[in-house]
Structure 1
Amino acid sequence: TTNIMNSSSVVVLDYEPVTLKNKTDKFKQNWGRYLSSYIFGFFPILQWITRYNTSWMLQDMIAGGTVGMVLVPQGIAYAKIANLDPQYGLYSSFAGACFYCLFGTSKDISIGPITVVSLLVGRAVTNVTTAHPEITGPEVAIFLSVLVGIITMLMGMIRLGILVDFIPAPAIAGFMTGSAITISLGQWGKLTGIKLDTHQAPYLVIGEFFSNLGGIHVDIAFGLTCLIALYVIKHFSAKLATRWPKFKQSLFYFGIMRNGTIVIIGTFISFCINVHNPTASAFKIIKSVPAGFDAIGVPNMSLNIMSEIGDVLPSIIIILVLEHISVAKAFGRVSDYTIDPNQEILAIGVTNLVGAFFGSYPGAGAFSRTAIMARSGAKTPLSSAFSAIIVVLALYVLTPAFYYIPEAALAAVVIHAVSDLISSPKYVKELYNTSKLEFLVFASAVLITIFDGIEDGIYTAVALSLIIMLFNLARPKVEVMARSPLDPTSKSTLPIPASNDFYSSSQHYIYFDEQDPHFQTQIEPLPPGVVVLRINNALLYPNSNYVTESIIATAKKRTRQGETEENKKELLWTQNLDASKNNHLPLLEAVVLDFSSVSRIDSTGLQMLSSAREQLDRYSSHAVEWHFTGIVNSQVRSDLLLFGFGTLEDSEGMASSSTSNSTLYASSCVSGTTAATKPSPKEEDSDKIQEVTFKDSPEVINQNSIIDNDNDDKELQLQEQKPEQQHMAESYYADPMDVENIIHSYYMEDTKFSQIIVDPHNYLPRDRHPCFHWDVDSAIRSLCERWSSRRPPPILLPPPTCSSSSNSSTTGSS
């Protein structure tokens, strides 16, 4: 047999509100633990360094060394984008790789120069050195690193990582795509040897390039050859790895080392050509690079620099934080670990601030290097320290060889690297098909970045994203709910209002948006006077007015106005004079709000709900019940109680206020069976109340009883059957159900006991307050049960004569 829970097993929901005093007391008791956790949280390395082992070290050495060999040519190339000497790119590469392992939470991130930030730093260097010739480019770049480090470090300390979540992926993809195109166009001059003004808008660079095609130099031989070779190696290393799996690892390392390989080959060819006359090269080479850390010192904090970089500083910070966090989260998901955005922002700040004393310019995690680190098998953040060792070796050992590196080869490396930042046609198509507004953000960011500048492209993408977010918040979808029975064959076919099937103790319903096309043929009317709506967002000050207006408009559209002397005397100038068209509609009795998607409600939202309640009370000429279902947040529940929702105190006089519109119905011979009266048990008959015992079947209880739902304990009670059966007709009272009160027999003709179906819905969790419910079906059932039990006793009439051909019923109205 199956055991059925008794009523004492029902979960009663009653959350104790957490006051400010409770929170303060808890903080006083645990402040020491909070402080120590906050401080030690700045050094994630302390959590795993004690478990470090030799196998991890081997993997970290391989991964870090591999990335280091990629980082050296990238650092040199990106420094040229920033209008700096090559060594400053190596300084930035060293600082990021060396200090990140102490503060970072990602094992794969490789901090160093990145293309977009390098371009912005280059523009800042040009602006400052043009306005103040006495200031050098490295001083500008180092000063930027100090400011970026301080600001991002403070952002991490006060936990502002949440700000990153306000910038959607299409905005990031848009200005990354535009920036990649801009950077590629800026390298065309170095790739071909044509002199171009790359500080102008990208579309102007294109025009200038084609107008100066006659100025192509021998650089194009190095540039195009290196660029083609990079793409060939990338394509065939991946293709051959799938064809020959046993060489997969070797081909992988050969593919990721393609940048260094091409630069080494190009440098060797350049050395062979220029070894006898290095000062008169036929093509551009980077020439001398000082060995070691030549720029170590205290940064020059000049106010003249500050006055010229104010417009570019926010862009640099936004890009650094967005790109770094996006890359860290992406590879954290791939490798199944979680990063801390706040700690990552702090790590960016520390590496840039400390790196400024080594001569570095702003840097962050780059996608290409991070992908190589992850594919190379890095185990801990310490892998980046091994990359720093490679950079140091390059600074002290390889600087003489750097002299002969062709600039065209570096331009090819840059163009090849930034091509991965351009969004694929597949992504653009998916974005367009998914959301036109997000596609607009993406397209705007790309076009403005190309035709105006990276800074304006970033600001436009961020601004449009925030506008769309606020619009979605201010205009949430408010769905008007309809219902369909789980058993469509039990749908009532009786006309409204002479229907008895709005509430059935054995019937359950699903609730959905009434515009949903899948249920249009199975919709069953709600109890008259009941309006059910679902709010699909938090109820906050930007959307509270819109939501409450939607509730009021829906209620007025589906119900008629109550008739009082005040309503008859006063008529608003906006009110329709012909109100007779709404006379067939019921009075508004209850508003049911599905709060399953409302995670938060503020004071403005509560005040607007209270105002809507007062307005609908005036409209209906009596107190309207407000019910809430699916409340997912205990704080929302407490706030609603604070504003008087959740109780029925305001609707006690509802029945008496609506009886003036009652309609008298008399009916007989319901479905060919007789009806029997079921008087409520009285206190003097309490000795006849018996306890329910469940039989073997989990679905049927055989007892001479009916269910009496008490508001306090909801216990099942029994009432003995009275022997007499009598025909009766009933007065129809215009109660909230507004249905014909037809009393069915609870008794079988051949047995003494009735069969009562055990309703599993009764065992759902219940709230302590009568207007808070587990779901919409629970709310509607609770309304119908309470309204049914509140009906006055029916008027008994002599039994009429039944005809085999038809059943007659008389209907009266008052």
Structure 2
Amino acid sequence: MAAATIKLGKRIIGYPEERVPVISVQEWADKTFTDPLHTLLQYLSSLFPIIGWASRYNLGWASGDVVAGLTVGLVLVPQSMSYAQIATLPPEYGLYSSFVGVLIYCFFATSKDVSIGPVAVMSLTVSQIIRFVNEHHPDEWSGPQIATTVAFICGFIVLGLGLLRLGWLVEFIPAPAVSGFMTGSAINIVSGQVPGLMGITGFDTRAATYKVIIDTLKGLPRTKLDAAFGLTALVSLYIIRFVLERLSHRYPRRARLFFFISVMRNGLVIIILTIASWLYTRHRRSAHGTYPIKILGTVPRGFKHIGQPIIDKKLISVLAPELPVATIILLLEHIAISKSFGRVNGYKINPNQELIAIGVTNTIGTVFGAYPATGSFSRSALQSKSGSRSPAAGLFSAIVVIVALYGLTPAFYWIPTAALSAVIIHAVADLVASPKQVYSFWRVSPLEFVIWLAAVLTTVFSTIENGIYASIAASLVLLLVRVARPRGHFLGKITVHADDKSREVYVPLKPDSGVMNPHMKVHPPAPGVVLYRFEESYLYPNSSLVNDAIVDFVKQRTRRGKDMSSIKASDRPWNDPGPANGGADDSQDDKKPVVRAVVLDFSAVSHIDTTGVQSLLDTRVEVERWADGPVEFHFACILSPWIRRALIAAGFGTGTPSAKLPQEIAPVVPDHDGYLSSDSDITDESLGYAHGKDAGPLVPSATPFFHFDLAAAVRAAESGVNHEPTLGDTD
């Protein structure tokens, strides 16, 4: 088979003369699934990223990981017990979750900074799930069993998503929606911890946020001695952080020292208040076994609940309505955090592998009695600032947790719970979006600011579950609206002069004053030529809108090809009443040209579907009916072989007369009686199988109406001849 070739430097690009290169499904499959065994081995090795960096581990990395791991561990111990308190679980379950999280994650991680363990939002969700189950099935299952079942099922779901490489689903949830429900959740958690901070009891702290705030204000007269410990802890935490930040700015050479002292503030405050609690309460135990303040109580030493998790099928069916939101929070918070630190520290995370990591962590964690764990923003930021060099930093954090579980549990007995509430408030308050961040949402996209605000208000006045569902639903609606109502422009051209050279640039006929100089004069293309640029893929939600825009523009700017002035009203189509009261027919205005060509810029089109192709066919039919003759359709900058394949299947690009092309690419109503069919005969030649010439076009000569760039498409449309540029000579 002879082939026309194009010389480009030292490379030669060839096109077979007898066939236009249209990608086939078989060719795509052969290219994609070449050497399946190698692909399988590559996939299996990718499940354990530690293989890639463990062999290069060195003492330099170890020094950074030891410091970062121990630092995070010292924060992790008090935080994990505090978060278990949010989840309405005994404190040891927080330690179990934190140990498994930091230990298992390092084997599957693609982020060196993320620290997995109990987090505030997930803990609050677990508490709401436990409450939901107990309301419908009181005393049937214990809180720890419910929590570990949630961890197992959600972990298994997330693991499946990662193995199936479905991590891209997370991309459908935008940053404002995540920030909105995180802010609302933080407000929810803080409001729920204030009563514990003040020693106020007598109402449900798991109710809607606004109710908790109201009940707390009403209960202020019932404040107990716990407030002395709680307020002291909270004020001390903020004073220490503020003072050390100021000292770091004043003495930058000692900034790292001040940073590590600041990191220790949680542990330092807990230690001091635990000693104070022991000194004050040890001789004040009442006859009922209570103390003047609420203390943590007995924390079992070691892993007392290790073993096979008890997974009850009936419990799973009861949990079913609550599992989606738990799964979303589990994966969403982690992916958002890992991506954030990847951007800051200059490495790329693999969302699918991260899903596998938290999936494995949670499923294995149920063996140790852990409840759901995911990435923590505060501890991940701490690990990053402490100088972690690899995911192995988590191993040293696990060592700290083990030491605490086996050596410090007797001391945990005297920790005042008000101090733990202070630790929670201090940590969670940082999750509330700052005014600067909220204002940036407004400046970038006012609609996304509305989504953020809706997520916050829904969370505050309803539940976290409703807040995350509302934010995701609003984001998807906004996405669909943007796809269904895309912006498109009819183009003209201007001449730009630079460096003693001039060139033509295609811009909207009506340029936006906020983007371009409103005083410049845009020249329309040659009479009878319509130039339109898409700003979105051409899909079923927006294809009808684009069709209407092009047809309406053609009818407004060009005259009808057939003279209708002498046509009686009774002979006109029912939808064409003609001029009113015998006036002039605007469609016959001789000052307007007859449409000759339509040029479509596909540079922003990445996908086209069957409905979109059918819409283009409808556009061609309506435009040619208006022109009462053939109209050329030129396409510029087609970047996808699948778009090219779809257009050729509909008869575009080949130059075949419209009379021989289909009017429907996929009829909705089958035409069994021949009412809808025409005399057209779709041949291989009309689909692009044509003999080539001895020229060397930049694009195949069998599709003369597909053009490499917009300028070539416009030249061809204005001249009626294909002026596609060529490269070199042909053989």
Same fold (TM over 0.5): yes
Distance 1:557 1:110, change over 3 A: same
1:736 maps to which residue? none
Distance (whole Å) between structure 2 residues aligned to residue 66 and residue 538 of structure 1 = 49
Distance 1:26 1:275, change over 3 A: same
2:507 maps to which residue? 512
Q: Is the 8 A contact 1:13 1:767 kept in 2?
A: no
Q: Are 2:718 and 1:784 aligned?
A: yes
More displaced, 629-638 or 246-255?
Answer: 629-638
Distance (whole Å) between structure 2 residues aligned to residue 765 and residue 232 of structure 1 = 69
Aligned to 1:541, the other structure's residue is in SS state coil
Displacement of 1:258 in angstroms is 1.5
Q: Are 2:89 and 1:84 aligned?
A: yes
Aligned to 2:532, the other structure's residue is in SS state strand
Instruction: Deviation per CA, 1:179-229: give whole Å up to 9, x if none.
Output: 000000000110000013112111111111121221100111111111111
1:276 maps to which residue? 283
Q: Is the 8 A contact 1:12 1:766 kept in 2?
A: no
More displaced, 514-523 or 191-200?
Answer: 514-523
Structure 2 unaligned residues grouped into runs of 5+? 1-5, 661-691, 724-731
| One-letter amino acid of the structure 2 residue matched with residue 425 of structure 1 | P
Q: Are 2:30 and 1:25 aligned?
A: yes
Q: Is the 8 A contact 2:298 2:412 kept in 1?
A: yes
2:198 to 186, 192, 200: 192
1:169 maps to which residue? 175
Distance (whole Å) between structure 2 residues aligned to residue 615 and residue 50 of structure 1 = 66
Q: Is the 8 A contact 2:233 2:269 kept in 1?
A: yes
More displaced, 334-343 or 23-32?
Answer: 23-32
Aligned to 1:486, the other structure's residue is in SS state strand
| One-letter amino acid of the structure 2 residue matched with residue 223 of structure 1 | G
2:436 to 412, 420, 426: 426
Displacement of 1:525 in angstroms is 3.0
Distance (whole Å) between structure 1 residues aligned to residue 578 and residue 28 of structure 2 = 56
Q: Are 2:614 and 1:619 aligned?
A: no
Displacement of 1:160 in angstroms is 1.0
| One-letter amino acid of the structure 2 residue matched with residue 479 of structure 1 | H
| One-letter amino acid of the structure 2 residue matched with residue 772 of structure 1 | F
Q: Are 2:373 and 1:363 aligned?
A: yes
Structure 1 unaligned residues grouped into runs of 5+? 1-6, 491-505, 654-710, 716-763, 790-814
Q: Are 2:608 and 1:601 aligned?
A: yes
More displaced, 199-208 or 325-334?
Answer: 199-208
| One-letter amino acid of the structure 2 residue matched with residue 527 of structure 1 | A
Larger Cα-atom Rg:
1
Q: Is the 8 A contact 1:12 1:765 kept in 2?
A: no
Distance 1:525 1:124, change over 3 A: closer
| One-letter amino acid of the structure 1 residue matched with residue 376 of structure 2 | A
Distance (whole Å) between structure 2 residues aligned to residue 27 and residue 536 of structure 1 = 29
1:631 maps to which residue? 638
1:775 maps to which residue? 709
Displacement of 1:633 in angstroms is 1.9
Distance (whole Å) between structure 2 residues aligned to residue 776 and residue 520 of structure 1 = 24
Instruction: Deviation per CA, 1:213-255: give whole Å up to 9, x if none.
Output: 2110011111111111111122221221121122111101111
2:128 to 101, 105, 123: 123
Counterparts of 1:711-726 in structure 2 under 5 Å?
A: none
Q: Is the 8 A contact 2:551 2:623 kept in 1?
A: yes
Distance (whole Å) between structure 1 residues aligned to residue 22 and residue 242 of structure 2 = 61
Distance 1:372 1:533, change over 3 A: same
- What is the TM-score with the length of structure 2 in the denominator? 0.86
Q: Are 2:56 and 1:51 aligned?
A: yes
Distance (whole Å) between structure 1 residues aligned to residue 51 and residue 131 of structure 2 = 42
Displacement of 1:635 in angstroms is 2.2
Distance (whole Å) between structure 2 residues aligned to residue 304 and residue 521 of structure 1 = 71
Distance (whole Å) between structure 2 residues aligned to residue 541 and residue 125 of structure 1 = 44
Q: Is the 8 A contact 1:588 1:624 kept in 2?
A: yes
Aligned to 2:493, the other structure's residue is in SS state strand
Counterparts of 1:397-476 in structure 2 under 5 Å?
A: 397-476=407-486
Distance (whole Å) between structure 1 residues aligned to residue 303 and residue 629 of structure 2 = 83
1:575 maps to which residue? 576
Displacement of 1:783 in angstroms is 2.9
Q: Are 2:145 and 1:139 aligned?
A: yes
Instruction: Deviation per CA, 1:456-499: give whole Å up to 9, x if none.
Output: 001000111111101111111111112112359x9xxxxxxxxx
Q: Are 2:117 and 1:107 aligned?
A: no
Displacement of 1:634 in angstroms is 2.6
Displacement of 1:565 in angstroms is 8.3
Distance (whole Å) between structure 2 residues aligned to residue 766 and residue 26 of structure 1 = 22
Displacement of 1:29 in angstroms is 4.0
1:555 maps to which residue? 554
| One-letter amino acid of the structure 2 residue matched with residue 539 of structure 1 | Y
| One-letter amino acid of the structure 2 residue matched with residue 52 of structure 1 | Y
1:586 maps to which residue? 593
Displacement of 1:73 in angstroms is 0.4
Q: Are 2:108 and 1:98 aligned?
A: no
Q: Is the 8 A contact 1:13 1:765 kept in 2?
A: no
Q: Are 2:305 and 1:295 aligned?
A: yes
| One-letter amino acid of the structure 2 residue matched with residue 171 of structure 1 | A
2:157 maps to which residue? 151
Displacement of 1:521 in angstroms is 3.6
Aligned to 1:84, the other structure's residue is in SS state coil
| One-letter amino acid of the structure 2 residue matched with residue 409 of structure 1 | A
| One-letter amino acid of the structure 2 residue matched with residue 392 of structure 1 | I
Distance (whole Å) between structure 1 residues aligned to residue 520 and residue 317 of structure 2 = 69
Distance (whole Å) between structure 1 residues aligned to residue 199 and residue 393 of structure 2 = 38
2:671 maps to which residue? none
Instruction: Deviation per CA, 1:342-366: give whole Å up to 9, x if none.
Output: 0101111100000001000001001
2:386 maps to which residue? 376
Distance (whole Å) between structure 2 residues aligned to residue 443 and residue 783 of structure 1 = 49
Displacement of 1:424 in angstroms is 0.8
1:747 maps to which residue? none
Distance 1:358 1:55, change over 3 A: same
| One-letter amino acid of the structure 2 residue matched with residue 513 of structure 1 | P
Displacement of 1:22 in angstroms is 2.1
1:201 maps to which residue? 208
More displaced, 115-124 or 603-612?
Answer: 603-612
Distance (whole Å) between structure 2 residues aligned to residue 257 and residue 487 of structure 1 = 63
| One-letter amino acid of the structure 2 residue matched with residue 149 of structure 1 | G
Identity of aligned residues (%): 42
Instruction: Deviation per CA, 1:3-32: give whole Å up to 9, x if none.
Output: xxxx96599896833322223434564100
Q: Is the 8 A contact 2:565 2:585 kept in 1?
A: no
2:295 maps to which residue? 285
Distance 1:247 1:508, change over 3 A: closer
